Amino acid sequence: MATSRGFGIADFERAFDEFFDEMLIDRWKCAAPSVEFERAQVIEHRDRYEVRVAAVGVDPAKIQAEVSGQRLAVRVPDKLGGTLESSFAFSNSIDADTSTAKWSEGTLLITLPKKKGRRIALKAS
């Protein structure tokens, strides 16, 4: 059924679909993560862990890495102004004070030394 201007229900539905395709679906396609956490490599050494994350196209100044206990959280900005986060859990506690992060050719390398145990001296009672 057409209106007096020649714009019918089918035309309205098509325009409505195109509007939502442009406004929502195209934005979701653009919001693809700029960092591929699923491709992160975690390597365990005797005295440390190394985490390598491909981060091509990310401003290294905007990457945040936080260590707490046995966990590492890495946060990077996404293309829509939000934040993507990935967490890694380890079997040993991490020495946060000596942990380091380096950026090289689109790859973030985080070195996490394992926290050493402390011996407790026994005192005679």
Q: Please write the tens of the pLDDT for every residue from 9-62.
A: 777 777 766 666 555 554 444 444 545 555 789 999 999 999 998 887 788 898
What integer is the mean pLDDT of 117-121? 84
DSSP 8-class letter at 58: -
Determine the distance from the C-alpha atom of residue 12 to the mean position of all C-alpha atoms in its chain, rounded to a whole number: 40
Enter the tokens of residue 125: 């009672």
What percentage of the chain has pLDDT greater than the value 90?
Answer: 38
Report the alpha-carbon distance of residue 63 to residue 95 in Å, rounded.
20
- Beta strands 83-89 and 107-113 are unpaired
- Contact criterion met (CB below 8 Å) for 50 and 2: no
Q: Which of the residue ranges 1-10, 50-59, 88-97 has the most confident prediction, judged by mean pLDDT?
A: 88-97
Domain covering 37-113 in this structure, CATH number? 2.60.40.790
